[in-house]
Amino acid sequence: MDFLWSLFSFRQHRHYARVDQAGICRAFKHCIKPPAGHDWVEINESRLCWLNQPLPATARVVRAPARSRRRPLLTA
């Protein structure tokens, strides 16, 4: 039964790149959850030409800050 539910559930895989101290791309990973470690950054796609090269700034995914659902109190 779990197999049938897995067919209908949508899991979005995301791309990650392992970047060293100098900003050089060392590895790629394509997974659902973010990899453990501080040297992994989310990227919009994986390109083999980026390996052993500086990761372009345009490749990194910039997440928008989460909006607060609280609304300010109305004062009269």
Give the DSSP per-residue string, 18-71. Answer: EE-TTSBEEEEEEESSPPSSTTEEEES---GGGBTSBPPGGGB--PPPPPP-PP
Does a structural domain hold residue 19?
Answer: yes
pLDDT reported for residue 76: 63
pLDDT in tens, 6-36: 667 677 889 999 999 999 999 999 999 999 9
Does a structural domain hold residue 73?
Answer: no
- Measure the CA–CA gap between 6 and 27, rounded to whole angstroms: 29
Overall number of domains in the chain: 1
Does a structural domain hold residue 31?
Answer: yes
Does a structural domain hold residue 66?
Answer: no
Print the domain residue range for 38: 12-59
Does a structural domain hold residue 75?
Answer: no
pLDDT reported for residue 23: 92
- Measure the CA–CA gap between 22 and 36, rounded to whole angstroms: 20
pLDDT in tens, 54-69: 999 899 998 777 666 6
Does a structural domain hold residue 7?
Answer: no
- pLDDT confidence bin for 70, thresholds 50/70/90: confident
Does a structural domain hold residue 76?
Answer: no
6, two tokens = 């897995």
Does a structural domain hold residue 21?
Answer: yes
